[in-house]
Homo-oligomer: A and B are copies of this chain.
Amino acid sequence: MASDLASLTASEMLAALARHRVTSQRLVEASLAAIVRRDRSLKSFVRLSPEARAEAARSDRRGVRRPLEGVPVGVKDIIDTARLGTEYGARIAAGHVPAHDATAVHRLREAGAVVVGKCATTEFAHMHPAATRNPHDPTRTPGGSSSGSAAAVAAGLVPLALGTQTGGSVIRPGSFCGVFAFKSSWGRTETHGIHELGRSLDTVGWFARSAEDLGLLGPVLLAGHQPARTVTKPSFVRLRTPYDALASKAMLAACDDVAARLAAAGAEVARRRLPAWYKSARDAHRVVISVEASRAFARYAREQPTRLSATLRDFIEKGQAAEPDYAGALAFGDRARVHLDQVFGDHDVLIVPAAAGEAPKGLGWTGDPVFNGFWSLLRVPCVSLPAARSRAGMPLGVQLVGRFGQDERLLAIASWVAERLKIGPVAPV
């Protein structure tokens, strides 16, 4: 039964809890048991919460049930949890225990979720890798920076986990690990209590094993949440980008296949191509993230440089050198965001690759965020759907990009797509 429980989605857990067929304590025990069994090799969790069992017991005693009452969740270790160590994947922050929950964690707990533990992150959510392995192939990266959150959900250790994205830190690991992943519009999620990486880019995102579960967190975590209208006839753009030459054939085929299946299901699917000048979006994103990171980490770099990885030190130096280009990169972002309205036209969602291809071999590099940084700069909400497989059997994510601020609608359309195309729920690997 324990393995059965660990394989449930959050929606299934909530249904079973509502019918008193299970307790939060049993769900949390199942999650902890799965972690003990599986995580020694997977390394998706860096710390378990000593309070999880007691919280589950309190949850079971509550009369009024809240939206996530009793559901075990994982939280990326870049996100503060009160009295539970939060080390940001960084040697320099070893032993750090925050006094307060981040806003996102506060909202999760207010909704009744039980934080089981903290999930591995790359160093300060940048590129220096965590020890986490890809559940589909332990010789491959799970992606990053939300490495542990994506892997833990894919392996069925928790049904939901929080991540963050500044470049490609949610959508890329979502694609590599074969789960559903959502990155919010910049500004629609609150980042207080999350260690800053790039302040004009940082967003909260999350992972789930079904589109329905992905949507569960919208009302909990989206600021100013307003329910989406019922999705009747969404319309799509299969969008070619100036970076498509960097995508694998299988990835481009997966996007085309989703577009074709949507058209076959009766949806309107236009085909468009981003103008060539968008190619600068990648550089503009690099300038913005490196400058903002160099500022966020300036004091660490000044006071304890040897306790940062060489990767991060190099990135900070790049950021300092890029300062003269920062204002221009921000202004580029303004122009591209205004222009993107024309790219959408009357359509709801753009269909593009979630990553360049399958998860690369090796654990030393979390993969190229070329299909993500771009959208992070544009501030739009993104979903990765586990829609296809590579020849090696590795997951390939197809990315759905929504209009800025219309996060609820994107989540609703992602559910519509998953249902029509029969994508997910994903079984734990």
Q: Enumerate chain A interface residues (CB-CB to B < 8 A).
A: 100, 103, 185-188, 190, 192, 199-200, 223-224, 226, 291, 295-296, 298-299, 322-328, 330-331, 334-335, 337-338, 379, 404-406
Contact = CB atoms under 8 A, between A and B. Distances in A.
B324 A226 contact: yes
Given A296-B192, A299-B100, A224 B323 contact: yes
Contacts of A100: 299
Given A331-B337, A334-B334, A337-B331, A326 B224 contact: yes
Given A224-B323, A298-B103, A338-B334, A328 B190 contact: no
Contacts of A338: 334-335, 338
Which among A328, A405, A406 has the greatest number of chain B C-beta atoms within 10 A? Answer: A405
* Number of chain copies forming the complex: 2
Given A199-B199, A226-B324, A192 B295 contact: yes
Contacts of A331: 337, 404-405
A341 B301 CA distance: 37
A325 B224 CA distance: 8
B223 A323 contact: yes
A421 to B, nearest CB: 28
A389 B405 CA distance: 46
Contacts of A200: 187, 200
Given A192-B298, A223-B295, 20 more contacts: A103-B295, A103-B299, A185-B327, A186-B330, A187-B200, A187-B326, A188-B326, A192-B299, A200-B200, A223-B291, A223-B326, A224-B322, A224-B324, A327-B406, A330-B379, A330-B405, A331-B404, A331-B405, A334-B338, A335-B338
Which among A187, A192, A325, A330 has the greatest number of chain B C-beta atoms within 10 A? Answer: A187
A243 to B, nearest CB: 23
Contacts of A199: 199
